[in-house]
Amino acid sequence: MGGASKRARESEFARREATFSRIDALLRDPYAESVVISLIADGCSKNDIIRELNEAITKRIFTMTGGVAKNRGIVDALGRLLSTEIHIPEEPQIVGTVGTALSD
């Protein structure tokens, strides 16, 4: 039983990795719709596609807050390091304060 269970977990992991790889391609593909259609044709559930798409997107969107976010050199260097654009709120130094005020 342990061997079959391990194989099932490995199969699920392989399926998820393949789905993620294709979602990753989706984010880079100007013909993104065709990637989603391909995932559907392969039998991936809508929930799996949405979950993987959300995970892939969140790995590419970064927001920097705090006073250091006003240092364009740091922001640019971090963006190059992460190979992505860094989003900076209009007033990054007060984001934490606003969040704290809203949480009470």
pLDDT of 31: 54
33-47 pLDDT tens trace = 666 777 788 888 888
More confident residue, 52 or 29: 52
3-state SS, residue 90: coil
3-state SS, residue 86: strand
Do 38 and 69 sit in the same domain of this protein? no
pLDDT of 22: 64
Do 78 and 104 sit in the same domain of this protein? yes
31: containing domain: 1-60
Do 49 and 82 sit in the same domain of this protein? no
Do 25 and 40 sit in the same domain of this protein? yes
Do 81 and 102 sit in the same domain of this protein? yes
Is pLDDT of 18 > 70? no
pTM: predicted TM-score of the whole model, two decimal places: 0.45
Q: Cα 37 from chain centroid?
A: 20
Q: What tokens does 32 get?
A: 């993104």
Q: What does the pLDDT average to over 79-89?
A: 86
24-35 pLDDT tens trace = 665 665 556 666
Do 29 and 12 sit in the same domain of this protein? yes
